[in-house]
Structure 1
Amino acid sequence: MPDNAPQSFSTTTDDVTLRGDHWPPADDAVSAQAPVLLLHGGGQTRHSWDRTAAALAARGRDVYTLDSRGHGDSDWAPHGDYALEAFVADLRAVLADLPSKPVIIGASLGGITGLCTVGEQPETAAALVMVDVVVNVEQQGIDRIKEFMTGHVDGFASLDDVADAIAAYNPERRRPKNLDGLRKNVRLHDDGRWYWHWDPAFIASGEGDEPRRHTDPARLAAAARTVIAPTLVVRGGKSDVVSDAGVDNMRELIPHAEIADVSGAGHMVAGDDNEVFAAAIEQFLDSHGL
C-alpha cells in the first residue's frame, strides 16, 4: 500500500459518529502547508472528492475528506436532524480534532456549512472555498436537485439504472463504461435493489427545498458579512444553481471574495472538470501562501 494511501478517521459528536479519510502528503513528510478539509454536497459521499484529494496530497498537502451525517459511512441522525445547525455542530467537532486550522473546501451543502462556520467562528479556518453554491441560489437549479434526489428513493434495479439516472441529471458528463465506481455511492440491499448511500430523511426533513431546507439564508448572509478568511467561490459555468446575480450578491457580502469560473462544468464542478477545478484551487492557495 502506498505511504500516502487514505487512512480512515472518525469523530464522535453528541448524537452521531462521523467517518472520513485522511490523505497524508505524498512525500510522507509533515506538510508546512495548511491542511485541507473537503466537504461534499447533499446526497453525495466523501468519495466525490477522491480525485481532488489524491491530487492535493500528491502535491504535498495534508487532506481530509468527510462523510456528513446521514451520508456514506457516517451515522444517520437518530432523530432525523438534518438542519443547518446540526451540520455546523458536526463540522466544529471535526475542526477541533484537526492538528491545525484547515482550508475548508465545500461543495453545495458542504459549502454553506463551511460558510456558516467560518463566518460565525473566524478563528476556525485558514481559508474558505465554496464550490458552486452562494447564499442566494437559483430556484430552478434547486428544483432539479430535489427532483433528482427524490426520484429514486425506492432504489434501482441495477447499476446501469443508477448510471442512467446520473446521466439524465448531468447529460454533458460522459457516462462511465466501468460502473464499479458507483458502488461507493449506492449500496445493494437484501431486496436486490441498489439505494443511494444516504438517509432518505435528509431530503424529507423540514420545509422547503434542498439546499434551502437545510439552511437559513438570513443566518448565512449574516455569517458571510463577518468572514475574514481568504475566500474563493468556484462557479460551474454551466450551473443552473449559481447565477450572475448570486455571485454579485456574494461580492457584496464578502468584498474580498475571489471568483473562479470553471466554464465546462455544471453544478458538480469537481466531477465535471477536475483538472481545471484543481488548478483553480492550487492557484488560490498558492496566492495566499497557504
Structure 2
Amino acid sequence: MKQSLKTFSLLAGLAVPFSAFALEPSEKLSDPALEARARNISGELRCLVCQNQSIDDSDAPLAKDLRTLVREQIKVGATDEQVRNFVVSRYGDFVLLRPPFKPETLLLWLAPLLVLIGGGSAIWSAARKRRWAVATPKALSEAERLRLKELGVENADASGGAPTSAQHSSNHQASPDMSNSHDFYPGFASHWIDTQAGKIFARSHGAGAPVLLLHGFGETNIAWRKIASRLAERFFVVVMDLRGYGWSSVPDSENGKSYAKRLMAEDAVTVMEELGHVQFALVGHDRGARVGMRLALDHPGRLTRLALLDIAPLEEGVGDSNLQRVGRAKFMSFEAPRPENLIAMDPGGFLIDALQNGTRDKTLDPFGDTALEAYCAAFADPLRIHAFCEDFRAGEGVDKEQLLADKAAGKKIIVPTQLLWSAAHFPQQPSLLESWREWASDLRGEAIDSGHYLAEEAPEAVLKALEGFL
C-alpha cells in the first residue's frame, strides 16, 4: 500500500510543475491594494505556453504580457470580474485555470487527470524503452477491396494499398473503413502515388490547366468537395491528402523532421508529375497553404498561380482574433508524447472543438455529418495523431528556420499570388496583406465572409474568387 501511495505521489507530481513566481519588481503596481488584486486575478489565469502554470508562475513572454494586461485594466478602473471577462473575450475559457463547467470546457476540467494518465503512460513507455508502438495495419475485407475498385484505385493490395513493411519499413498507413465510405467526388479518378513519404492518396478530374488543392489541419482532401467539381468544369483538378493525413502514408518522424513543408512540397511535385503535369496552379488552405508557400519558394518554376487561404506568413502572425488557433498550434508542437497522450484520450472531441471554434458562427453545420465522420475516422489513429503533432513541430522548428533564412536572404514568391482570408479572424485585413507583401512580389487579396474554413463555410465566394484568379 505504501509503495502504491509513493507511485501515485510520483505520478501526481507530473501534473504539478515546479513553481517560482516569475513576477518582476518592475511589473508591480505601486498601490499595494491594487497589486493584491492583480496577483489574485493572475493566479487564476493560465499561461497559454506552459499550460498548467498560472501566469504568475510562468516566465514565458506571453505570461508577462498577460500580467501587464491585467494591471493595465485594473489601473483604468475595471473590476475583478471585468478584467477576467476582458481576458476571456480575447483568449477563450482555456485561459482560466478553473473554467466554467460546461460541455465545451469538459476537457479542461479533466486536463490534470489526463496529464496524470499521460505521465504514467510516459513512465511505462520509458520502462519499455520505446516511445511509439506501431500498430500493424489490418487487412482489408473483400467488401473493402471491392469498394476500392469502385473508387477507381488501382493495385489495391490486402493492406488497403498501403506500403507493406517490406516496401517501406519506415512508413505506415492505418486501413480506413472503406466499406462504408461516402464518395465525395463522383467521376473523379483515385490514385495512390509512390513518393518518398510512401503512398500519397489523390483524386483527379476535369480537363484544362492543372490545379492542385491542398487541405488544412483536421481535414482531408474532402475539404474541397463543395468546389472541386465546379472547378473541374474548367480545370484539371487534383485533390490530395498531405502526408500523415487522410488516406496518405504516415512516415515515421521525431521533432517534425519528416513533416517539414519542404518535404511535403516535394510530395506535391511528385504527385503532379506522376499525373503528367510539371507546372500547375496550387490552392492551399491552412497547412496546405504552408506547403504551397514552401513550394513557391523552393520551386518557383513549378507554379503558374498560388492561392493561399486564411494564413499568415508565420504562425504568430495569425493575430489576436484567433488566439485559440495559436494556442492549439503551440500545444501540438510540444515535445512528444505529451500532446499525443492528451489528444488520444478524446481525439474526436479535440477535433470537433477545433472545427467548431474555427467557424464564424461556432457551428458544425458547414461540414455536414458525412464529412465530420470522415475527418474523425482519420483523426482516431494514434499514428496519425502523432503525425499531426509532428506537422506542428515542424512548423515551430525546421519550417520557421527555413522561412526566416529565406527572409534574411531577401527571397520572395515570384509567382502571381492570391490571398483569401476570413473576415472574422483577420478583421484588420490591411495588416495581413501588408505582411504578405514582404514575401510576394505579385499579390492581390480579399476577405471572405467566413470563419477559418473558407471552402466549407463560403464555397460560392471562394469559387468566385478562385475562378477570377486562376
Shorter-chain TM-score tier: 0.7 to 0.9
SS in 2 for 1:103: strand
* Alignment partner of 1:16 is 2:205: no
Name the CA distance, whole Å, in 2 between partners of 1:198 and 1:226: 35
Aligned to 2:225: 50
Larger Rg: 2
Q: Which residue among 264, 272, 280 is the counterpart of 1:102?
A: 280
Q: Which residue among 255, 259, 272 is the counterpart of 1:82?
A: 259
* Alignment partner of 1:170 is 2:359: yes
Q: Structure 1 residues 284, 148: CA separation in 2 closer, same or farther (over 3 Å shift)? A: farther
More strand by share: 1
Bigger shift: residues 10-19 or 172-181: 172-181
Give the residue type in structure 1 aligned to 2:196.
Answer: D
Alpha-carbon offset, residue 272 of structure 1: 1.6
**Residues 78-227 of structure 1: pairs in structure 2 closer than 5 A:** 78-80=252-254, 81-100=258-277, 101-136=279-314, 137-138=317-318, 140=323, 142-146=325-329, 152-155=343-346, 166-170=355-359, 172=361, 174-176=363-365, 179-187=369-377, 195=380, 199-205=384-390, 211-213=395-397, 215-216=399-400, 217-219=403-405, 221=407, 225-227=411-413
TM-score relative to the length of structure 2: 0.50
SS in 1 for 2:344: coil
Aligned to 2:62: none
More helix by share: 2
Give the residue type in structure 2 aligned to 1:275.
Answer: E
After superposition, the C-alpha distances for 1:49-99 in whole angstroms (9 at most, x for unaligned) are 111211211x33210000011000001112352222321221222232232
Give the residue type in structure 2 aligned to 1:16.
Answer: G
SS in 1 for 2:380: strand
SS in 1 for 2:420: strand
Give the residue type in structure 1 aligned to 2:296.
Answer: V
Aligned to 2:189: 7
Give the residue type in structure 2 aligned to 1:181.
Answer: A
Q: Which segments of 5 or more consecutive residues in structure 1 lack a partner in the other structure?
A: 26-30, 189-193, 286-290
Give the residue type in structure 2 aligned to 1:43.
Answer: G
Q: Structure 1 residues 111, 178: CA separation in 2 closer, same or farther (over 3 Å shift)? A: closer
Q: Structure 1 residues 239, 15: CA separation in 2 closer, same or farther (over 3 Å shift)? A: same
Q: Is the 8 A contact 2:329 2:392 kept in 1?
A: no
Name the CA distance, whole Å, in 1 between partners of 2:369 and 2:186: 25
After superposition, the C-alpha distances for 1:197-256 in whole angstroms (9 at most, x for unaligned) are 971123433886x85457223156479943222111111111259964332021132131
Aligned to 1:70: 244
- % identity of equivalent residues: 20
Name the CA distance, whole Å, in 1 between partners of 2:392 and 2:360: 29
After superposition, the C-alpha distances for 1:247-268 in whole angstroms (9 at most, x for unaligned) are 2021132131111211x11221
Q: Is the 8 A contact 1:138 1:243 kept in 2?
A: no
Q: Structure 1 residues 221, 50: CA separation in 2 closer, same or farther (over 3 Å shift)? A: farther
Structure with the greater relative contact order (CA < 8 A, sep ≥ 6): 1 or 2?
1
Name the CA distance, whole Å, in 2 between partners of 1:258 and 1:92: 25
Name the CA distance, whole Å, in 2 between partners of 1:105 and 1:283: 13
Q: Is the 8 A contact 1:270 1:277 kept in 2?
A: yes
Q: Is the 8 A contact 1:71 1:198 kept in 2?
A: no
Q: Which residue among 454, 458, 464 is the counterpart of 1:269?
A: 454
TM-score relative to the length of structure 1: 0.78
* Alignment partner of 1:282 is 2:467: yes
Q: Structure 1 residues 197, 68: CA separation in 2 closer, same or farther (over 3 Å shift)? A: farther
Give the residue type in structure 2 aligned to 1:172.
Answer: D
Aligned to 2:443: 257
Q: Structure 1 residues 104, 141: CA separation in 2 closer, same or farther (over 3 Å shift)? A: farther
Q: Is the 8 A contact 1:138 1:241 kept in 2?
A: no
